[in-house]
A = this chain, B = another copy of it.
């Protein structure tokens, strides 16, 4: 493992907020598995594994930001340090999570036990899940006890991001058809805990029932943990301490189950990174313009996409460095 540039890893481990911010920026800027971020993670990784990573997902407008705010307060009340990673696969139009971020920053600005960071990375293959996982490792190494990973939507991106966490909370609200949408997006099956937020609204009981009905159709996986459905009112904080208690109970479930989850996550992560590395090798091995030429052949129907891809993949040299084509 390469030495961390200018002691950044050391300062991260000391909990230096500016170093943490810089480390995460470095991870965001790293655009492939082989770049600078890898050395930093290599230096920090032996000092990680202590934080509890909690993913919080659900449709926009579900009150997730307010819920996260309340969770911060609850968790801080127990003396634990909390970091928040607000992940927004933002569109080029919107300002992304920046506004919500600032609001929260202001609220907890005076508390050194809270660190909030937005990430708006999007784009290429698995990029968001990778940067999220690495940023969480930075926060872990910096000594935060809990890392809340908040996402904005209910797409495959969110599923992948949520899967980088130890526990996943899915937030739904009554009367919006969210439950249906969450099911469509495959969000239901990744939930360890459901939150029916805005519990003061009409339709809350129907929402809880529909979630429970959906759960009853699902085979009981993960050795018998049945995701509880909790009611909260994020605006008042009602139900939030119970949510934290439930998350602690989930964390304290059998060692076997936790180990299985950790293993599956590491497995997926290593697979994805190995795939990215191979692709980077291919890009480096190809002659200039090879992808463009292949695309032109496909457009002109001279080669089909599979044939073109096979021809390109043949350029990857072996590990001893000898070329091939």
| A183: interface (CB < 8 Å) | yes
For A324, list chain B residues within 8 Å (CB).
Answer: 318-320
> Is the C-beta of A166 less than 8 angstroms from some C-beta in chain B?
no
**A17 contacts partner chain B, Cβ-Cβ < 8 Å:** no
Q: Is the CB of A180 within 8 A of B60?
A: yes
- What chain B residues lie within 8 Å of A89 (beta carbons)? 156, 184-186
CB contacts (< 8 Å) of A188 on chain B: these are 91, 93
Cβ of B271 and Cβ of A291 under 8 Å apart?
A: yes
Question: Do A322 and B312 form a contact, CB below 8 Å, given A299-B266, A304-B45?
Answer: no
Question: Would A309 and B33 be within 8 Å (CB), given that A91-B184, A93-B218, A324-B320 are in contact?
Answer: yes
A93 touches B217 (CB 8 A): yes
Summarize A's interface: helix, strand, loop or mixed: helix
A275 touches B267 (CB 8 A): no
Interface residue? A253 (CB, 8 A): no
Quick one: which of B185, B277, B292 contacts A309, CB cutoff 8 A? Answer: B277
- Quick one: closest B residue to A180, CB to CB? B60
Closest residue to A271 on the B side, CB-wise?
B291
Q: Which of A149-175 contact B (CB under 8 A)?
A: 152-158
* B177 and A49 within 8 A (CB): no
Complex contact A186–B91 (CB within 8 A): yes
When distances are taken between beta carbons in the complex, the residues of chain B under 8 Å from A38 are 304, 306
The answer for the CA separation of A270 and B319 in the assembled complex, in Å, is: 23
A295 interface contact, C-beta 8 A: yes
By the criterion CB–CB under 8 Å, are B60 and A273 in contact? no
Q: Taking the complex as formed, is A42 at the interface, i.e. its CB lies under 8 A from any CB of chain B?
A: yes
Residue among A1, A214, A308, A309 with the highest chain B CB neighbour number at 10 A: A309
Residue of B nearest to A264 (CB): B295
CB <8 Å contact, A299 and B184: no
Q: Which residue of B lies closest to A176 (CB)?
A: B176
Is the CB–CB distance between A298 and B314 below 8 Å?
A: no
CA distance A188 to B91 in the complex (A): 8
Q: Is A287 an interface residue (CB 8 A)?
A: no
Complex Cα distance, B92 from A217, in Å, reads: 9
- Check B41 against A305 for contact (C-beta < 8 Å): yes
Stretch at the interface among A63-71, A109-117, A278-286: A278-286
Which chain B positions have C-beta within 8 A of A306?
A: 33, 38, 41-42, 273
Known: A61-B177, A91-B189, A259-B299. 11 other contacts (CB 8 A): A33-B309, A49-B301, A89-B185, A90-B186, A176-B176, A263-B299, A266-B296, A273-B308, A274-B309, A274-B312, A275-B278
A contact residues vs B (CB 8 Å cutoff): 1, 33, 38, 41-42, 45-46, 48-49, 59-61, 88-94, 122, 125-126, 133, 152-158, 176-177, 180-181, 183-189, 214, 217-218, 259, 262-264, 266-267, 269-271, 273-279, 281-282, 291-292, 294-296, 298-299, 301, 304-310, 312-320, 322, 324-325
